[in-house]
Every structure is written in C-alpha cells, then in structure tokens.
Amino acid sequence: MNLTELILLIKELFVAGGVVMPPLVLCTLLLWYGVGYRFWVMKEPRLMGVRDMLKYYQLHQDKAAKNIVAQAIKQGIALKNRGVRNLRRHLDAAFYDYEREIAKFSALIRVVVMISPLLGLLGTVMGMIETFDSLATMTLHSQSGGIAGGISQALFTTQMGLTVAIPGLLANSLLNRKQHQIEQDLSQVKDLLCHQTSENLLIKKGRQL
C-alpha cells in the first residue's frame, strides 16, 4: 500500500465515522503511546528473587542494573552504606520516583478505555438520527445501499470505539499486574534493607557490651 492509497483509506474512515472519528483517532494514539511507554519502563524481566538480587548487588555494586527493581536495590544499598538515620523514610522518598514511573499514564489509559466506546455510541446515535431524517424525506433510498447502508455507516463508530477499548483494556490489565508485582518487590526491598540495618545495630551494641 503506497502513501496515496493510505491517505484515501484514512479519508474514507473519517467520512464513514463522521465527526467522532477525530476524537477516536486521538484516543487511539494516546492509548498506544501510554501502553508503549509503560511496557518499555517495565519490559525487563526479573531473573532472580528479590533476596538474591539484593545479595548479588551488595557483592557486585559495580554491576549495571538491568531493571527498575535492580535500580531501586542499588540506590537502597547506597543509602544503607551511607548510614543515614531513619532509613525507612529515606527509602520511601527514594523509591517514590520508581513507583510513580511505573504508574505513569495508567490513569490516561483508563480514561481512554472508558470514553472510546461512549464516543463510538455517540457516533452511532448521530448516524441513526441522520438515517431516520433521510428516511423521513425519502432521500436515503436514492443512495447506494439504501437503509441498510445508512445503518451500517452509523454502526461503524461503535465498532471503532470497541476496537480501541478492548485491546487497551487487556493491555492495561497485564501492565497493572506487572506494576503490582514491582510495587511488592520494592516494598520487600525496603523491608530487607531495614532488617539488615537493625541487625547490624544489634551486633554493634552486642560488641560494645
């Protein structure tokens, strides 16, 4: 398909969908931009458990972090080694950026998934109104396809709205599960680092006694 044919196809889609097609196209672009961004941020798999990752980066602090949990672990280890007071509060502040990053665009995706079918329904209602107006004036029969053709055009926007919403809903569900897993991993990292700090303090106090 060359550029001219693509442009003609886009024009036909806009003509068939009417005034709701530009918002639906915008929703499609926003949806897949948000999905693509979230997938890119969380794409790297976790190859080992959180405890093993923590031990690994404590022994190999020069190794590059391969995913967002590893980045958080390295930053947490750096804070722990600095001996900051109230480590939990510092970890909460440091990990907030990671938690915000993996949740970015999730609200946008939810909004797009909700409004896309409504835009499609609006286009269908508008198309049906035009169809019945044409039927009342008997102008629709002169067009190719007759009443069936007019109703077909009216239902096209509903199809487009569902085409946008259903894949977006499925993709967002998978990404939300990945987000929840990462949030649990980050919480476990905080607990492990704080526990190690507490153990070290107890050992120091025992030696002093």
Q: What is the pLDDT of residues 72-97, one digit of tens each?
A: 999 999 998 888 888 889 999 999 99
Q: Are 79 and 194 in contact (CB under 8 A)?
A: no
The better pLDDT of the pair 145, 186 is held by 186
The better pLDDT of the pair 85, 31 is held by 31
Helices (H), the chain: 3-17, 21-41, 50-59, 68-82, 87-103, 106-136, 146-208
In angstroms, the CA 208 to CA 196 distance is 19
- Sequence length of the chain is 209
Q: Are 160 and 121 in contact (CB under 8 A)?
A: no
Percent of the chain with pLDDT over 70: 80
In angstroms, the CA 150 to CA 93 distance is 58
Band (101; pLDDT cuts 50, 70, 90): very high
pLDDT of 5 above 80: no
Query: Among 40-44, 55-59, 89-93, 153-157, whose mean pLDDT is lowest?
Result: 153-157
Q: Are 162 and 117 in contact (CB under 8 A)?
A: yes
Nearest to 28 by CA among 186, 165, 124, 181: 165
In angstroms, the CA 25 to CA 31 distance is 10
